Chains A and B, each alone.
Chain A
Amino acid sequence: MAERLIEVRGLKVQFATEDGVVRAVDGVDFELGRGEVLGIVGESGSGKSVTAMTLLGLTKDTNTRFEGEILYKGRDVLQMNEAELQDVRGNEMSMIFQDPMTSLNPVYTIGAQICEAIQIHEKTQKGIARRRAIELLKQVGIPNADSRVDNYPHEFSGGMRQRAMIAMALACNPDVLIADEPTTALDVTIQAQIIELIDRLKDEFNSAVILITHDLGVVADVADSIIVMYAGRVVERAQTRSLFYDPQMPYTWGLLGSIPRLDRPKQERLHSIEGAPPSLIRAPAGCKFRPRCPHAFAKCMEEPGLENRVEEPTHLDRCWLSVAEKREVREATIRGEAA
């Protein structure tokens, strides 16, 4: 493994609300090395965004409780004070958000917002920061970057804004780039370009990437490894290849089944997972996916641990079904027949 940048151990994030304690993240472990791409996949409300925001300490609040540790180059982010966090944010770890339409401040130019990111962390002159901003815009593929740098966000298209966001995130050459659903708000044709861009820049900037999405199709090509989250937990974790060829969690099957595919007959309906994600205040007993799982049986009332059950040693899952059983019913479930 390359130089280890991030190591998350037993991360739990809980929000105290009027309705009760929301266990948004309930036991997440992973590590990330330089040059790697980690995909975090799950539905809305599975805790992936909270996990990402917590990596930057952005969920810190009086009503939030944390457990576990997030080691960034050996230092625990959860123990850092505000000044230390500010030093890390945008400088060593930076983030791209879901909606580029609203994630840029409408009253400042694109250039000003990129320069701001540079000047927070480096005491550079305005002119130098500006030249860097133009250079970054060129790198993310903005045409006429010299004049575009003075445009306001509303003068950019959605895809260009997301490129500008990426330029801003890369401004201080961060070790880790966290992309929280970077393509969800974009046209399908733009999605692939943005993912490709992130993948290319990762190599140019020698960074690691955490790519958060609800769409397994998005991460299939670029991620080295993938964790699948459900109800705040990691339910499956594997190398990308292993996850796609030998998925172990019925939930992962559901996600795989919901990707539109060209190699299937046209008249076949796109499969979706029945039901909705559980409440994070009162989660179901046992396996969290049990109420929606077509293969649930008596043992599922007891929660399975995240363990290695297949030949591939880095492939972990949380499911009581035997590997043989899974391999037998899997294809049908992915096609949406078993339910």
Chain B
Amino acid sequence: MLAFLIRRLIGAFLVLIAVSFITYLIFIKIPGGDPAPRIAGRTATEANIQDIREKLHLNDPFYSQYWAMMKSLFTGSLTSYSSQLNVVEQIKSGIPATFSLCIGAGAIWLFFGILVGLISAVKAGQWSDSVITVFALIGISLPVFWLGLMSRYVFAEDHPFSFLPDGEYVPLTQNPWQWFTHLLMPWLVLAVLFIGFYGRVLRSNILDTINEDYVRTAKAKGLPYRGVLVRHVLRNSLIPIVTLFGLDFAAVIGGSAILTETVFDLKGVGWYAAQAVQDLDLPPIMGVTIYATFFIVLFSVVVDLLYALLDPRIRPT
């Protein structure tokens, strides 16, 4: 078990290095990636630009630039090219909004995803299953930016029926009720896609599992329907959902809820990443990439551990 953990941690470290290096390489190789002319401004002379290049060490070989950037990132001194703000501080300030959004949405999508999957599998072939399927497919197909804007228009626009505040993040410590009402719409909008998807996946998992021989054994023991369904069918069908949830959750925590954060003006990590990409601002891009990779790697280790817990067949002995 310990060996497994150590192996995974070494692997995680290598992944972090590889991802950051590739991101760095892509950035400096794309046309217009050179930050010096942009920082220098419109009326800059060649001398100005050279001056900036010198100051930012842009004339050094790329590996030493990479090394310098990683060093300043991990010591917390890395600053943005365009705003000169500290990258680590900026990411830290985005974390409360991102975590609030993702933990809430994650809980909602996991709960309703399982509920939807369970109901549609139990009612498979009946009209309620068809209705749920149609809604699930609509949910999967709705783009977040459209759904986000529409829900803002319907629930938060200035008209008599609106009852939710429009966008922005209110810290939990400042006002829990405001925190909740401000996040309710973003939670649901972010969760809709996943609910539809998880529901479909779980439905087919359940329908596969229900034909397993051990389910027949459970029935033959005299276990009531509910017990068969929960203890034998659902228990085994949920194992793949754990993987799915671990990785999806890591992705949104890691800042991939960019659209939701942007539409609802939640200044989280995803929003910060979007700004950085728009400005072609390398330091924040690197910062957010490392931050996101960290969560993906962390959660894939957690998923592996959970998997071993849930399925004794793959437990390392």
Contact = CB atoms under 8 A, between A and B. Distances in A.
Contact of B213 (A86, A88, A97, A117): A97
Which of A56, A104, A116, A165 lies at the interface centre, i.e. has the most chain B CB atoms within 10 A of its CB? Answer: A116
A270 interface: no
B221 A94 contact: yes
A82 B225 CA distance: 9
A88 to B, nearest CB: 7
Interface in B262-317: 310-313
A244 interface: no
Interface string A89-108: 11100110101001111110
B57 interface: no
A294 to B, nearest CB: 37
A86 B312 contact: no
A58 B222 CA distance: 10
Secondary structure dominating the interface of B: helix
A107 B231 CA distance: 10
A107 B221 contact: no
B220 interface: yes
A58 B221 contact: no
B235 interface: yes
Interface string A59-82: 000000000000000000000001
Interface core residue of A85, A91, A106 (most chain B CB under 10 Å): A106
A152 interface: yes
B241 interface: no
Nearest to A100: B213
A90 B221 contact: yes
B200 interface: no
Contacts of B235: 107
Contacts of A107: 235-236, 239, 310-312
B212 interface: yes
B232 interface: yes
Contacts of A121: 222
A117 B221 CA distance: 6
A58 B220 contact: yes
Contacts, number: 72
Contact of A97 (B217, B223, B313): B217
A102 to B, nearest CB: 4
- Which of B223, B236, B311 gathers most chain A CB within 10 Å? B223
B38 interface: no
A107 B232 CA distance: 9
A120 interface: yes
Contacts of B236: 105-107
A122 B217 CA distance: 18
A120 B214 contact: no
B216 interface: yes
A106 B311 contact: yes
A89 B219 CA distance: 8
A88 B212 CA distance: 22
Contacts of A102: 212-214
A73 B37 CA distance: 94
B217 A116 contact: no
Interface in A160-182: 165, 168
A267 to B, nearest CB: 40
Interface string A290-322: 000000000000000000000000000000000
A120 B312 contact: no
Interface in B203-226: 212-214, 216-225
Contacts of A165: 217
A255 B129 CA distance: 46
A23 B216 CA distance: 22
Contact of A106 (B214, B223, B224, B231): B214
A105 B217 CA distance: 9
Given A105-B218, A168-B221, 20 more contacts: A58-B216, A86-B222, A86-B223, A89-B220, A89-B222, A90-B220, A90-B222, A90-B223, A94-B221, A95-B220, A97-B220, A102-B212, A102-B214, A103-B214, A105-B232, A105-B236, A107-B235, A117-B222, A152-B312, A165-B217
21 contacts: A56-B220, A85-B222, A89-B219, A89-B220, A90-B223, A91-B222, A99-B213, A102-B213, A102-B214, A105-B214, A105-B236, A106-B214, A107-B236, A107-B312, A116-B223, A116-B231, A120-B222, A121-B222, A154-B312, A165-B217, A168-B221
Interface of B: 212-214, 216-225, 227, 231-232, 235-236, 239, 310-313
The 10 closest A-B pairs by CB, nearest first: A89-B222, A90-B222, A90-B221, A102-B213, A105-B214, A152-B312, A103-B213, A95-B220, A117-B221, A86-B222
